[in-house]
Amino acid sequence: MQIRDRVAVVTGAASGIGRATALALARAGARGVALADVDESGLAGTAAEVEAAGAAALARPTDVRDAHALAGLYDDTAGALGEFTILHSNAGVPTGSPCWPEQSTEHIERLVDVNLKGVILGARLALERMRRAGGGVIVNTASIAGHTALPPEAAYCATKAGVEMFTRCCAPLHASHGVRVCCVCPGLVDTPLLREPSGGELLGHVRAIYDALQPLDPADIAAAVIALIEDDAAVARVVDVANTPRGRAPA
């Protein structure tokens, strides 16, 4: 799908991968980008960057766990920017501290609800709209952790494995709705999610991996998302964006 003159929705857009993808969509010629997150100040910053890159921006505080909030986001997008045909379902929360199995029940529920339920709801509510608009593309953000066992992140890994399988199960939607659903699986990305909310220190269980691997930039993931959107042959495709060991240049 050509991005020029399209309208897109990006969740988790206040920082990191979501912000990078929103900016990449604007630079690729998107007419408008709707930005969703629970971080209102971060959304404002992303909106300013998107507009500076030449696209209209709509910043809409949204909790992706809430179907009514998602439906409102989609309605507001259509009203302000036009019907959207691109969705980057990117909102997610990290393992954080403490790790599995010391995590609270509340945090585990949040991991599942944001990382997996939010992706499923986002697609379900977008499908009929995209079908009426002539088709579309949904790109979900999973993780290499979805197919790599990281015991301290067991619950997080399970949510990302669920996103991968959900994406694969959406293959028939290309024929029934004209909607391609794909998935990008980042490795270790240098975003605020790797750090403690107070002080900015690396999360303890991340430090060894961070020291061994060259962290990816959010722009690396955004480039993979753009490639999936533009490749009309990409149906239920799951793409890894992997790290290289520190000191070794990417191939």
In the chain, where the domains are located: 7-245
Q: Is 156 a catalytic residue?
A: yes
Q: How far is CA 90 from the centre of its chain?
A: 2
Catalytic residue among 55, 156, 218, 226, which?
Answer: 156
What span, in angstroms and rounded, lies between the C-alpha atoms of 104 and 114? 16
Q: pLDDT at position 186, please? A: 96
What pLDDT, in 10s, does the model give residues 169-193?
A: 999 999 999 999 999 999 988 776 6
Q: Collapse the DSSP code of 36 into the 3-class scheme (helix H, G, I; strand E, B; otherwise coil) and give the result.
A: strand
Residue 59: strand pairing partners: 35
pLDDT per position as a tens digit, 133-171: 999 999 999 999 999 999 989 999 999 999 999 999 999
Pick the CATH number of 7-245 from 3.40.50.300, 3.20.20.210, 2.30.42.10, 3.40.50.720: 3.40.50.720
Say if residues 183 and 142 touch (Cβ distance below 8 Å).
yes
